[in-house]
Structure formats: C-alpha cells, structure tokens
Amino acid sequence: MTTVVIAGAGPTGLTLACGLARQGVAVRVIDRAERFPAGSRGKTLNPRSLEVLADLGLGERLAAAGRTHLPFRKYFDGEFVNETEPFAGARPTATTPYAASLWLPQTRVERLLRERLADHGVRVELATELVDLRQDGAGVEVRLAGGGRIAAEYLVACDGGRSTVRKLLGIPFVGDGDPEPVMVCGDVEVEGLDPAAWHQWFGPRGAFMLCPFPGTRRWQLQASPETDADGRPVAPSLESFQRLAALHTGRADLRLGNATWLSTWRVNVRMAERFREGRVLLAGDCAHVHPTAGGLGMNTGIQDAWNLAWKLGHVLRGFAGPGLLDTYQEERLPVAAWTLDVTSAGMAAVTAGSATPGTGVEAGRVGELTGLALGYRWSSLAVDRTDGEPAAVDRAGSVRAGDRAPDSRYLGPDGAPARLFDRFAGDHFTLLGLGPGARPEAAGLPGHVRPVAVDDPDGAVRRAYGITGEALVLVRPDHHIALTARADDHEAVLGYLAGLGA
C-alpha cells in the first residue's frame, strides 16, 4: 500500500516527496495538470531554502543553474535613478554557507526536484486529479477523476491556494483579497536591454519590471495592468506588454517577443484555520497565500515541507508517535501568520513608494530575507535543560533551542577538517558533544541518532552555539536545535527522544 499520497507537484509537494522517499517511505505524487508548468512564477530561493535543498542533494545542481547578486536597476518616469543590490558584499561564512539568495525560475527548481525524486524511484503522476477523499483512524482513501482510488496512511495537500483537498475538508481559508488583478505577468524575450540587472520602472502610471534569467533568453515581466477606455484591466498579451513597455520606459528600441505564461496576479492574504485534519495535512499555498513582497512564497512552502518531512517519516518508521504531527501546525502556523503580516506590509510599502524616485521592490523588504533567523523557540519540541540549574552551562550567545543550528567547521575523528552540515545531512537526529568532557557516544543512543564529538580547539563551534562551557546539543533532522543539556546529562537526551512517543 502507498504510505503517503501528495496532491500537488509544485516545490512544496516535490520537496516533501524527496524528504520522504529518501527515508524509504512509499510515496505517490499526483497532479491534475496534463503537463508540467512552463511559466517562471517564483524566481528566488533564499539561503534557508538553499540549505534545505542542499541537504536533499541539490546544492551543486542549483548553483550551476542559477545566479546570485542580481543588481536592481531602477528608473522613475522613464529616467534612470540608481542601482542597488540587496546582498551586496554578502559572502558565505563558517556558520552560513549560503549568504545570498539564488535567482532561478520556479520552473527550473521544480525540474531539478523531479530529477532528484526520480533518483529515489518516484515519478510525478500527471493528469491524476483528486476529486474526493475518505479517512478513518487507519488511513485515507483518495478518489480520482475517472473512478480510480488510492489507499494510503496519510495524505498531504500541496495543491495550491484553490486547494480541492482543503475545500473537501471544510477548513476555512480566512482572509481577504482583491477581485481585480493588480499585476500582469509573463515570460518574454527582450531585445535592447542589459541582462545583467533586474530593471524596475516606477512612476505615476504604476510599475513595469523585467527580470532576466541566467543562461536563457527569457525574462520575467511584471507590470501594472493596462486598462481600456472604461478603466477595466486588459488581459495580458504580447501586444499589451509592448504597449506597457513603451508607456513606462519611453523607449522605442525596446522590443519584446515570444510571450509565454500570460497571467494575472491578484492580492490574496489568506490562511487556513488549521493545517491538519486527522490523517490529512496542508502545506504551501494550500495552507497560506500572501503578497509577493520579499519573495517568500516558494520559500515558505519548501520550508513547510522540510518541517513536515522528517516528522511524518519518523512517525511512519516508528521513531515517534502520531502526536509528533501536531507540532507541524504548532511550529508552521505562526510562521505563516508572520509571513502574511510582513508581506502585506511590504506590498503596501512598494505601492506607496511607487511615486517616489529611486524606490523599487526593495521598499517591500520584509526584514528577514534569508530565512535563517526563523525558528521555533515557542515549540514544545524546543527544550533547554541548561538554564536555571546549579550546574547550568553559561550560554553567552543568542542561539537557543528551537533556532536553526548553525553550520561550523571542526576537526573530525581523523583530525581532518569537517563541517557540521555534512554530519547533519540526512534524516537522523545529531547529538553534538561540545567541550572535552562531553561524550555523546556514551549516551546509549538509538540508531536514528548520530553522536558527534566535536574537536573544537579554538572554540569556534561553541561560540557559534553560544556555549562557553560544555554541553550536549541535540539537533533535529531539519537542522533546528531540539535540546541543550549539560555535558553529563545523557538522561535528558534519552528522555527527550522517548517523549516523542515512539
């Protein structure tokens, strides 16, 4: 029997499928589309998503396909104003291997994820539409258009903002939206424009933007809609795009051609009231939709999947009880709410600033562009056993249980340089022993926990983790800190693992 059915083959569903398949979970990915999407749609992966996808084995493939450090070239009322770059000067460090976002169309991201999924023997099933479902305490039955059925232990809905699954479950999608399109989009070829920058024209008539994609002739166009004599938005087309280009740039030599993925975008700010209904879970746009400011859409979905994949896999493999799945909503719903708030504020700032010279999409910065600072300190899975005790570790830094576990270099067992992220990679917990008195290998750990005694002669790892003494640090499979404890408190580690309910 199929163990998990994933409805939807976008970045969220594919990331989840890769995370489950590498654990040996029998997974099927279905999508109602007849063919894979051709439009660019999302176009950036933030540093946290790059860490996630690198753990899944896609780091080198992504780096070869995309680009970092894309300048924003800004114009006002047709005239050049300035050029900026959000990640100027950002370079990898010992704790953050990816310092800048990667510019890459969502189409390409999905293709690479499908290739990685195929490495695990799983392929997306197109033209396979979920029309109904039934569930009980033992599993879920997915009913397909045409009469087919799939029996599974769990169903995960990654089928977008208009999710069939969410509607079938009757889960309210709370929020509001604009019935009229506020943007037209498309993929075009451009003559007469430097592909070394993202060109952004703003002014009294709205916005017109052209973003290049590396290694191709394609550009993504985003613009305020053209309107007809009655003030109604004109449907996107090459002819309309060309008129918009002339209106906003004032250039007769700028030629657009071969327009594909003609689309409109409306503001929608909505979130599901809950992310789980029995054996069915929601992720990505199915669970939350928000404005484009900050480029968080594809990234938030990928990180939903990253949070859920290890939890669902560990439950199915007997390492944890079903209650672990409740922590998916506990951790990801507040992140979704934060995302809706900051992107709404960012979109409002872009709109307000469109009439100000020198303002571009940077007006919509959400503060935390990298995703690296988003953690789960409030979670029931975040436990710090070093505070408030007589033998407490003196934590000098700001990294706490629930936070992303930093990368760092250290000396491996053979004395050769090693990286923590290389030890974290996979679907296991990692128990770090920091300080000469910490012996994680002596804790009597189960097989899904990897002990790593860190040889840290210059204290770099302890500084990265904010620890000046000695400690045990248990790191979750998704690279978040689960537990910090005294170096001799093996019982705290074993008790934590037992508390997951296996």
Is 325 within 8 Å of 281 (Cβ atoms)?
Answer: yes
CATH code where residue 82 lies: 3.30.9.10
Pairwise pLDDT comparison (364 vs 29), residue with the higher score: 29
76 and 141, same domain (yes or no)? no
231 and 327, same domain (yes or no)? no
Domain that holds residue 204: 67-101+179-266
Contacts of 295 (CB under 8 A, 6+ apart): 42, 43, 44, 46, 101, 369
Helices 297-316 and 326-353 cross at an angle (nearest 10°) of: 180
pLDDT for the residue 469: 87
185 and 311, same domain (yes or no)? no
* Integer CA distances (angstroms), 88 to 32, 70, 98, 451, in order: 41, 9, 13, 38
Contacts of 396 (CB under 8 A, 6+ apart): 463, 466, 467, 468
Tell whether 370 is covered by a domain.
no
Mean pLDDT of 400-418: 90
End-to-end C-alpha distance for the chain, whole angstroms:
22
CATH code where residue 312 lies: 3.50.50.60
398 and 481, same domain (yes or no)? yes
* 467-499 pLDDT per residue, tens: 988 999 999 999 999 999 999 999 999 999 999
Residue 268, Ramachandran bin (φ over 0: left; ψ between -120 and 50: alpha; else beta):
beta
Tell whether 378 is covered by a domain.
no
Is 187 within 8 Å of 260 (Cβ atoms)?
Answer: yes
- Of the pLDDT bands very low, low, confident and very high (cuts 50, 70, 90), residue 357 is low
pLDDT above 60 (res 394): no
Q: Which one of 245, 266, 287 terminates a domain?
A: 266
Tell whether 372 is covered by a domain.
no
Q: Which one of 243, 266, 289 terminates a domain?
A: 266
131 and 51, same domain (yes or no)? yes
393 and 468, same domain (yes or no)? yes
Q: Which one of 364, 391, 422 terminates a domain?
A: 364
- Of the pLDDT bands very low, low, confident and very high (cuts 50, 70, 90), residue 205 is confident
pLDDT above 90 (res 209): yes
Q: How many CB atoms lie within 10 A of CB 478?
A: 24
204 and 275, same domain (yes or no)? no
pLDDT for the residue 294: 67
Is 454 within 8 Å of 432 (Cβ atoms)?
Answer: yes
pLDDT above 50 (res 391): no
* 129-171 pLDDT per residue, tens: 999 999 999 999 999 999 999 999 999 999 999 999 999 999 9
- Residue 138 tokens read as 């033992």
Tell whether 374 is covered by a domain.
no
Residue type, position 484, single letter: T
Is 282 within 8 Å of 165 (Cβ atoms)?
Answer: yes
206 and 325, same domain (yes or no)? no
286 and 341, same domain (yes or no)? yes
Tell whether 120 is covered by a domain.
yes
pLDDT above 50 (res 248): yes
pLDDT above 80 (res 344): no
User: How many structural domains are present in the chain?
Assistant: 3
Tell whether 241 is covered by a domain.
yes
Tell whether 347 is covered by a domain.
yes
CATH code where residue 403 lies: 3.40.30.10
CA–CA separation, 20 vs 122, rounded Å? Answer: 11
- Tally DSSP H helices, then E strands, for the chain: 11, 27
Is 493 within 8 Å of 474 (Cβ atoms)?
Answer: yes
396 and 360, same domain (yes or no)? no
Q: Per residue, what are the HEC states of 269-309? A: EEEECCCEECCEEECHHHCEECCCCCCCHHHHHHHHHHHHH
* 314-334 pLDDT per residue, tens: 999 999 999 999 999 999 999
